[in-house]
């Protein structure tokens, strides 16, 4: 029995290190885009002032956040699968472990036919690291993204310098 507990603890520790490495590998890409959108404004509108990060091989697994309230907050959504499968499909759209992961991250499911939602207070100065951790962490926890999983970024208002982030970013 003790052996099973030790193995479970070892697997959990490896998983935690894998998650931390995955988040760290992609944090800069998220923070740079959010910072660019924030600095370029205009803060009076939310139009196209968002970042969506998805698994490159599918558009069905994504997290997206948009600025609002003069950039004091971000409204974030994590894909529920509703838009890919259609509202008429019965039963949960995501498997239980994915739903549980999103709930642990503070996302709520207001309506079964919509994405999971969460608002984030950014603070002053804005804490884009917290948003990056949430977005990348959700991809890891709920959608099973791993170190070798390429990501796709969509941020129409972000302007990045050529070498904004060191290291490999997909």
104-143 pLDDT per residue, tens: 999 999 988 899 999 999 999 999 999 999 999 999 999 9
Q: How many domains does the chain have?
A: 1
Residue 136 CB partners (closer than 8 Å, separation 6+): 22, 23, 26, 27, 30, 53
pLDDT at 170 over 90: no
Beta strands in 56-167 (DSSP E): 62-68, 73-78, 116-121, 151-154
Cα-based torsion angle of the residue sequence 24, 25, 27, 28 in order, rounded to the nearest 10 degrees: 120
Residue 98 lies in a domain: yes
Residue 19 lies in a domain: yes
What's the pLDDT score for residue 90? Answer: 56
Domain that holds residue 27: 13-154
CB 138 within 8 A of CB 102: yes
Residue 166 lies in a domain: no
How far apart, in whole angstroms, are the C-alpha atoms of residue 79 and residue 117? 9
Residue 3 lies in a domain: no
Nearest to 153 by CA among 67, 45, 27: 27
- pTM of this structure: 0.86
């Amino acid at each position: 029995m003790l052996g099973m507990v030790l193995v479970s603890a070892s697997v959990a520790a490896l998983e935690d290190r894998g998650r931390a490495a995955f988040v760290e590998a992609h944090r800069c890409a998220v923070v740079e885009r959010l910072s660019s959108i924030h600095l370029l404004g205009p803060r009076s509108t939310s139009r196209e002032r968002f970042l969506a990060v998805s698994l490159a091989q599918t558009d069905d697994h994504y997290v997206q956040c948009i600025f609002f309230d003069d950039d004091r907050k971000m409204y974030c959504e994590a894909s529920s699968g509703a838009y890919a499968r259609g509202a008429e499909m019965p039963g949960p759209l995501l498997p239980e472990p994915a739903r549980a992961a999103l709930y642990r991250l503070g996302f709520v499911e207001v309506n079964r036919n919509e994405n999971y939602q969460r608002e984030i207070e950014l603070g002053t100065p804005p804490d884009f690291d917290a948003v990056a951790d949430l977005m990348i962490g959700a991809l890891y926890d709920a959608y099973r993204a791993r170190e070798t999983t390429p990501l796709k970024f969509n941020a129409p208002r972000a302007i990045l310098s050529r070498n904004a982030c060191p290291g490999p970013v997909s």
